[in-house]
Structure 1
């Protein structure tokens, strides 16, 4: 559970988040893995709270997540994760020392952040609805197509590197990007994961780790669900 800690190293951390945001999800996993307590600040994207004057002072583009650490205000999940890694390198490192594996982590994370996630965020689907087609099924098909295209690439990339996790037997950056995307693919886009055996196996491993499970959308304070699965 996100909370405010009296520990000097994390007492000022605040995370502006939305329960179903995969970008927020990956940052929540990192905070959990590193044992960093934080104050959860819910931003309701469906109500447009991300465009409020208060929030756009933090992030002018109007996206979550935003991390506030004392005087520092940082948006974009990739930037936040690298910041947390630099500031807290000894609290569960998010990157391997091996340069080859580190590069694969960056590549996998970028496939998710640049070739999958932008095609399924709320702003994109809203634009499609208003300017292309109001048909929700067509919108979901658009996102599902790009999700599966990205998963094909990830499956090929990771088949020679994956152990229990994406690049071996330790959780690293790639896993933080994969877990939320796979969760969304299953829950929202009903992607048939049998066509992605490596990703399916990784997802099973993620489901066994408390840091991942506690970051699940269904367990966040702003979830509209009446019960968490």
Structure 2
């Protein structure tokens, strides 16, 4: 069964799907749309996804356009290496973290990183400091989940890891590329203030194929 994913480089939602496919060790093709040329709003793409968003996944007559829906479908279509656990208890934990992170961690990270990466923010402001406080709170919640687990859902990567990793890795990207500003906002540049998250990032990046999911524009 062929799988094609439409993405924009650096889109956290699309990145989730690429990670999930990687965790399941599935073959896929990815087509990156050019954001500056608004390819996701082109007539051809809108025929595939009328909302003009990413990701979209196409596989043998199935078309999906929501990252969480895609993760759920992948577990039904390819039950090996489940993204939502083996037991009801595991599923409950992973679903809860997945949904909370897709809203709260995503919004907190977007509030901080959108101004930094796309709006030219280059100095600390009261507004940035406030959103940084919110983002740090969400990172602390993520770190607490990793104190007793190798991955968020247990001993192997899950949907929760697929949703949380892009947010943490983009924060690390900001620390690497906007060091002075991030330090002014209270972040430690080596993530020593979030040691469990830093170690988890390393474990995810060591997983075979994850390097392929990194945003192409970072290289």
Q: Same fold (TM over 0.5)?
A: yes
Contact 1:111–1:154 (8 Å) recurs in 2: no
How many residues align structurally? 201
Q: Which of 68, 71, 75 lines up with 1:81 in the alignment?
A: 71
Q: Secondary structure at the match of 1:116?
A: helix
Quick check: 1:109 aligned with 2:98? yes
Q: How far off its partner does 1:153 sit?
A: 2.3
Higher helix share: 2
Distance 1:224 1:153 in 2: 29
Give the alignment's TM-score, normalised by structure 1: 0.75
Quick check: 1:173 aligned with 2:159? yes
| 1:160-219 deviation line (CA, Å, top 9, x unaligned) | 6x32211322222211122211110110265433222322221121121113222222xx
| 1:5-36 deviation line (CA, Å, top 9, x unaligned) | xxxxx22x211012211211121112123232
Contact 2:6–2:32 (8 Å) recurs in 1: yes
Distance 1:55 1:64 in 2: 10
Q: What is the match of residue 178 of structure 2? A: none
Alpha-carbon spacing, 1:49–1:121, altered in 2? closer, same or farther (3 Å): farther
Q: What is the match of residue 7 of structure 1? A: none
Q: What is the match of residue 41 of structure 2? A: 51
Q: What is the match of residue 155 of structure 1? A: 143
Q: Secondary structure at the match of 1:210?
A: coil
Contact 2:20–2:158 (8 Å) recurs in 1: no
Distance 1:197 1:119 in 2: 20
Q: What is the match of residue 210 of structure 2? A: 212
Distance 1:166 1:63 in 2: 27
Distance 1:64 1:184 in 2: 17
Distance 1:75 1:44 in 2: 18
Quick check: 1:35 aligned with 2:25? yes
Q: What is the match of residue 136 of structure 1? A: 121
Distance 1:34 1:212 in 2: 11
For structure 2, list consecutive stretches of 5 or more residues without a partner in the other structure. 176-181
Alpha-carbon spacing, 1:82–1:188, altered in 2? closer, same or farther (3 Å): same
Distance 1:53 1:118 in 2: 29
Q: How far off its partner does 1:112 sit?
A: 2.2
For structure 1, list consecutive stretches of 5 or more residues without a partner in the other structure. 1-9, 218-222
Q: Which of 53, 62, 68 lines up with 2:58 in the alignment?
A: 68
Contact 2:23–2:158 (8 Å) recurs in 1: no
Q: How far off its partner does 1:89 sit?
A: 0.3
Q: What is the match of residue 7 of structure 2? A: 17
Q: Secondary structure at the match of 2:4?
A: strand
